[in-house]
A = this chain, B = another copy of it.
Amino acid sequence: MRVGTKVKDQRKNLAGLTRQRRLVLEVVRAEESHPTAAEVFDEARKKLPGISFATVYNSLRYLKDHGLLREITFGNGASRYDGVTDRHDHAICSACGQLVDFDLPGTVALTRAAARAAKFQAESVHLTLVGLCPECREDK
């Protein structure tokens, strides 16, 4: 992670954690699955009925920009949000759509190899596995 002088001081920005933003963050962290914005909205409404869709989206963007959560995009469906911000990878079940986190060792070497192959200066690598989750595998 690069921290330069042009980057705003994060502590100062953390002071901008309003009630709505804190709630959105709590909801994402509490959900075991990776909720979509709509699911976050539904859940947040239970605790703060007045919250609007726009505020949920704005909060998600704010939290993402400040590194407090991650946005996961796969396919053209709705983005999902992940309260775990450490580097990790995702697996998506092609049968039920379930999305799980997993950790793959050796990603530093992988990133370097990918950067060399692409002739890019690497910033990050995103690895997604598509397959059958354990439950759907049994159903077959």
Given A74-B73, A117-B104; A131-B123 close (CB under 8 Å)? yes
Q: Which of A79, A117, A124 has the most CB of B within 10 A?
A: A117
Asked if A133 and B117 sit within 8 Å, CB to CB, the answer is: no
How many interface residues does chain A have, given as a range?
Answer: 35 or more
A20 on the B face (CB < 8 A): no
Asked if B117 and A102 sit within 8 Å, CB to CB, the answer is: yes
Asked if A125 and B122 sit within 8 Å, CB to CB, the answer is: no
Cβ contacts under 8 Å, A120 to chain B? 91, 93, 100, 129, 131-134, 137
**Bound CA span A113–B102, Å:** 11
List residues of A (97-114) whose CB comes within 8 Å of B's CBs.
Answer: 100, 102-106, 110-111, 113-114
Residues of A within 8 A of B (CB): 73-76, 79, 89, 91, 93-94, 100, 102-106, 110-111, 113-115, 117-134, 137
